Amino acid sequence: NAGVTQTPKFQVLKTGQSMTLQCAQDMNHNSMYWYRQDPGMGLRLIYYSASEGTTDKGEVPNGYNVSRLNKREFSLRLESAAPSQTSVYFCASILVAGGHREQFFGPGTRLTVL
Amino acid sequence: KNQVEQSPQSLIILEGKNCTLQCNYTVSPFSNLRWYKQDTGRGPVSLTIMTFSENTKSNGRYTATLDADTKQSSLHITASQLSDSASYICVVSAPYSGGGADGLTFGKGTHLIIQP
Q: Which of B42, B95, B99 is closest, CB to CB, to A30?
A: B99
Cβ–Cβ contact A9 with B under 8 A: no
The phi-psi region of residue A28 (left if phi > 0; otherwise alpha if psi is between -120 and 50; otherwise beta) is left
Q: Which of A41, A50, A100 is closest, CB to CB, to B100?
A: A50
State how far the Cα of B7 lies from the Cα of B22, in Å rounded to an integer. Answer: 5
Residues B8-65 pLDDT 10s: 999 999 999 999 999 999 988 888 999 999 999 999 999 999 988 889 999 999 999 9
Residues A9-56 pLDDT 10s: 999 999 999 999 999 999 999 899 999 999 888 899 999 998 898 999
**Beta bridge partner(s), residue A4:** A25
Sign of CA dihedral B52, B75, A38, A18: negative
How distant, in Å, are the alpha carbons of B50, B57, B76, B78 from that of B63?
11, 6, 5, 8
Q: Is the bond preceding residue B44 a cis peptide, omega within 30 degrees?
A: no
Cβ–Cβ contact B1 with A under 8 A: no
Which residue from A minimizes the CA distance to B9? A40
